[in-house]
Amino acid sequence: MDGLNVSIAFFLLVGGVCQVLRWLSKRLLSPGTHGCLATEFAGSFQLCMSCLELRMLMDIGPWGGGFGLDVVLTLLFLLSAVHGASFDGASANPTVSLQEFLLLESSLAAMVAKLLAQGAGTGTGWAVTRLYWSWELTQLHFIQNLIAPECSSSIRASLPHAAFVEGSCSFLFHLVLLKVRQSHPLCRVPALAATVTFLTYTAGPFTGAFFNPALATATTFHCSGNSFWDYIQVYWLGPLAGMLAALLLFQGNIPRLFQKNLLYSQKSKYKVPKAKVTAQVEGDKPQRKGKGGKSNSEPRA
């Protein structure tokens, strides 16, 4: 269990460093730069390092550390909740940034800046984690260093099946995200954390259940077993198709592309009472009554 304690300390240290980075960027940078670059970089950096360490525990822990899958899934839920509460509006996920662009919530320049920051954050997180593993602080890290050069692909199903699995995970994740994104954090954060944990448990044996193109690129694209195009189909095109399907099902349209609702008829929430039409006899004129109830229809001189 010493290896597990070191990993927990690593998670806490990474979260603390990224939180300091967010605090400094908020005070030193402009709001636009902070929102598009700093928060996305810090979130992607934190997510990548946590995911790599957690996957190491999931792969080696049952036979090298003496703890089971239940411990790893509990850590996954807690880390997902911490990430959701501390990311300060960042998504650390290219499909979420693209979804915001399609919903007219961000501009093209902001989306591109977020994608670049996410790529830089995940790449830096991968490099720093490999450096941390090279220190071999625990037996688990020693084993990880031995098997790291010979890592194999996370795709353990046929290519169409794997792409469908990643697309389905992205579809369910984005449906939940669209449903709870305006909710209070006390409801939104546990709902998303539970969704990520459930999807990882069910789809992990087939593809690793990344449903995050940037995270998958940093984690598994360098491993042998599949070609680069295979990885693109499974970990980029699959999640992208799942996000578009979720957005179309939830909204009925894609606002950035077209305004017409394709799935749902737009009806007013309020019923407008029908106006009563009074037929007037041809030649009649409206009469105004003066004081005392007398008619003012007499012709004036």
Spell out the domain ranges in the chain: 1-251
Residue 152: phi and psi, rounded to 5, are -110, 165
pLDDT tens for 241-260 read 999 999 999 988 889 988 77
Q: Name the nearest CA neighbour of 36 among 85, 108, 103.
A: 108
**CA atoms of 5 and 140, how far apart (whole Å):** 12
User: What is the rounded CA–CA span in Å between residue 215 and residue 292?
Assistant: 84
C-alpha torsion sign, points 237, 244, 120, 130: negative
Residue-averaged pLDDT of the chain: 86
Q: Which is higher by pLDDT, 300 or 34? A: 34
Is the pLDDT reported for residue 269 higher than 70?
A: no
What average pLDDT score do residues 21-43 get? 87
Q: 69-86 and 185-207 helices cross at what angle (nearest 10)?
A: 140
* pTM listed for this prediction: 0.84
Distance (Å, whole) CA 80 – CA 171: 18
Contact residues for 266 (Cβ-Cβ < 8 A; gap 6+) = none
Q: Does CATH place domain 1-251 in 1.20.1080.10?
A: yes
Instruction: Quote the tokens at residue 170.
Output: 């992205």
Confidence band of 34 (pLDDT split at 50, 70, 90): confident
Q: Which residue has the higher pLDDT, 280 or 77?
A: 77
115 band by pLDDT with thresholds 50, 70 and 90 = very high
Residue 148 pLDDT:
81
Residue 299: what pLDDT?
A: 46
Model confidence at 175: pLDDT above 90:
yes
